[in-house]
Structure 1
Amino acid sequence: MNSGETDGTTGGRGPAAVAVDGERRARALEQLMTVGRQHSAVTVMFHSAIAAKQGLNATEEKTLDFLERRGPLTAKDLAELTGLAPASVTGLVDRLESKGFVRRVKHPTDKRRVLVELNQRKLGEFAVFFEEWARDIVDACEEFSAQELETVVRFLAVMSERQSKFVARLSE
């Protein structure tokens, strides 16, 4: 092989270099799984604590997040997003409505359907928690380059999509 050619599998590197990369990747994946589990647990605890401050559970709080990001949704939409059964979504919306966080409104084009809409004033009570957390995130990200942050964004987008598909399979 000439110095500019590769064997097509190792990028011109020898078997020892490829083995080292394989071991490094295996260690990195193991660390990722460990840190991912820790992050998942602390995220659940974070959302449970934020929700509890408002008399909600984590599912209720995340449902409000869906409504804030996507606008008014039907119960069917909420069932698809949350992976909950339709009867569970009805109970969820009933609880959120009784606590003043949402209201049911007529669909603008199909009078047979109902939309679940946020009470923006009531949702504003959450703002103080998330504004402080957003400042912490921005501060923590100062040590990362734009390229590193873009990689994290890409990774989280892929993982979110995969996790959503897995939840859908579990709900079948």
Structure 2
Amino acid sequence: MAETDDARRAAALERLMTVGRQNSAVTVMFHSAIAAKQGLNATEGKTLDYLQRQGPLTAKDLAELTGLAPASVTGLVDRLEAKGFVRRVKHPTDKRRVLVEPNEAKLAELAGFFEDWTRDIVEVCAQFTTDELETVNRFLAVMTEQQRKATARLTD
């Protein structure tokens, strides 16, 4: 019986790796296509997502969140600033530090690209129970943190 359970688990993990790779590929392509509509690359687009969800951040904060090297973040912020998506502002409590602040009006232009996708997600999720969705949420949260760590190792 244990061999059967072990074999089922191994097969499930193999399918997970395959489906995960497929999902990763289409996710990158989807976000690259949305970013390209605004003259951005995928990294710029996802950095804007962090700023939109978390508000103004320091370059150090962005480096930690993205896993990118600090020098890469400086160039990234320079490009986003030149394109009008962010601006550098003085930190409210520490004048030696600078925050990267999103341009909310420019970010609003990106929101329309996600409306259909959001509607599709809600529709597809109707076939899953709340408990199943909570399992997926827990899995994605754990995997997100693991991938953040892997990214940081690659950029150190």
Partner of 2:28: 44
The superposition leaves residues 114-154 of structure 1 with CA deviations (integer Å, 9 ceiling, x where unpaired) of: 10001101100011111221111001111111111111111
Q: Which consecutive segments of 4 or more residues in structure 1 shift more than 3 A?
A: none
* Aligned partner of residue 144 in structure 1, secondary structure: coil
Q: Which residue of 2 aligns with 1:6?
A: none
Structure 2 residues without counterparts, runs of 5 or longer: none
Higher helix share: 2
1:28 aligns with 2:12: yes
Where do 1:81-92 residues align within 5 Å?
Answer: 81-92=65-76
Structure 1: 5+ residue stretches without partners: 1-16
What TM-score, normalized to structure 1? 0.87
CA deviations 1:73-129 (Å, max 9, x no partner) are: 011111111222222211111111111111110000111111000110110001111
1:118-157 maps to which residues of 2 (within 5 A)? 118-157=102-141
Q: Check conservation: 2:67, 2:149, Cα contact below 8 A.
A: no
Which secondary structure state, in structure 2, belongs to the residue aligned with residue 161 of structure 1?
A: helix
**Larger C-alpha radius of gyration, 1 or 2?**
1
Q: CA RMSD in A?
A: 1.0
How many corresponding residue pairs? 156
- What is the correspondence of 1:60-79 to structure 2 with a 5 Å cutoff? 60-79=44-63
Identity of aligned residues (%): 76
Q: TM-score, normalised by structure 2?
A: 0.96
